Chains A and B, each alone.
Chain A
């Protein structure tokens, strides 16, 4: 299995621009998670999906953030408009309820907003 795939690996954008991060979970996994990691706040859960349905988005910091999962093999996290304080590493992870929920992480997208 290729594992969780994220793209792009690095993104540099200017403040005010729209940013879209992409994730392909492991085939057969029914949970998908988006995390943000910063030095100040550590690893934060933003939102998670079960069977493509958003279950808990209480970690999404503002309305500027949105996430979708149109099918079992693809999810996006969008920031519009982006701000410098959104600079962080964004991870996607997937898991299977049948496998006791251990999560498998992608390599992350390092976002820099200037």
Chain B
């Protein structure tokens, strides 16, 4: 079975500061991994994905994520946060099933 954990319910950062959102997964082999962002009143938008190859993947809006097999993690990072990045972020994992499992989400609050 596949599962995903986002340990942080809320994260608060100052505008311009760096960001790291944590995601840990459980699956016996290398899964497909995704990060989505949900702005208020909107649907989920795919930020980036990892299937294989280079463990550091680049996404849209200046985000990147690193797959670490030894830690079963796929943390999302951004070097400098903008106020418009305030949103809900979801990590998802897809293993052997046809559908991904989503985490509970991390709410990002950005202070000016």
Contacts and interface: CB of A to CB of B under 8 A. Distances in A.
Contacts of A107: 41-43
B82 to A, nearest CB: 22
Q: How large is the interface on A (under 10, 10 to 19, 20 to 34, 35 or more residues)?
A: 20 to 34
B104 A50 contact: no
Q: How large is the interface on B (under 10, 10 to 19, 20 to 34, 35 or more residues)?
A: 10 to 19
Nearest to B32: A100
Contacts of A43: 90, 102, 104-105
Nearest to A108: B43
Nearest to A4: B43
Interface string B54-76: 00000000000000000000000
B99 interface: yes
A60 interface: no
A45 interface: yes
B91 to A, nearest CB: 11
A91 B99 contact: no
A105 B44 contact: yes
B45 interface: yes
A55 B99 CA distance: 11
A84 interface: no
Interface of A: 4, 31, 33, 42-43, 45, 48, 50, 55-56, 91, 93, 97, 100-108
Interface of B: 32, 34, 36, 41-46, 49, 51, 90, 94, 98-100, 102, 104-105
Given A50-B98, A93-B43, A105-B44, 7 more contacts: A31-B99, A55-B98, A93-B44, A101-B94, A101-B99, A102-B46, A108-B43
